[in-house]
Amino acid sequence: MKKIFVSLFLLLAFGLGQQAFSFENITTIDETSDKQIEAIEPETNIAPLQAEISFDWLTLDQTQREENIEKYKKLLFENNSSHIYFSKEDFKKEFAKYYKDKDFKLHYMLTNNGVTEDEDAKYCAFYFKKGTLVMYAIQYKNNPTNAFYYSAFGKLYYTDLMSKEYPNYPYTSMQYDRKGQLKSAIYFITKDIQYMFDPDKEFQGIWYKDKMYDKNGKQTLTRNNW
């Protein structure tokens, strides 16, 4: 089974009622077996701002599509106006203090008992279907553009970084693993439209609602929970 990990911020754009920690079923994570994971879905009252933009990917000619891809690639990587594109070394320096959750026993207890928010942070728990907590996510209220995913023992798995515009559109999102390796980069134009790039800066596709299209306008994927 192919291993995938879904960014909680990406799930926000999937139309899940703007629930701040609303995750779809995740197939697996590193160092866990290939079983389906269930998640708790707390609520938020965020009402993001966005412009009305039509989806014209299928009507553009190939040159226009390539120009759009290059435009958003530059915005994400070359311009780095969001200041969330890091080298491995810079990422480790910037986020070293998050590599181990010093309060993991408390956070494990909270998330395992269904607590989704306190005065300091919002939480989400990931369970195997048998009810074993395998991972939890933390979004600190004093730093809401970052989310950290930890094992049940407080080891950092992944970090989601959002540009300062979040939750308003457009904004950018990048996900890194513990080693500071970029795993994905996304440019959120609106809730419905996102350009996705891989760690090598290669275009993966454009999402429009529940469908992804490649650079040639061919549908390649669909997503649930739209």
Residues 58-90: pLDDT tens digits? 999 999 999 999 999 999 998 877 889 999 999
Q: How far apart are CA 212 and CA 195, in angstroms?
A: 9
State phi, psi for 211 to the nearest 5 degrees.
-125, 140
Say how many residues make up the chain: 226
Label residues 144-163 b or e (16+ Cβ within 10 Å = b). Answer: ebbbbbbbbebebbbbbbbb
Q: Given a cut of 80, is residue 5 above it in pLDDT? A: no
What's the pTM? 0.74
* The pLDDT of residue 73: 95
* The pLDDT of residue 146: 95
* The pLDDT of residue 34: 38
The pLDDT tens digits of the residues spanning 7-65 come to: 554 444 333 323 333 333 333 334 443 333 343 334 445 566 666 788 999 999 999 99
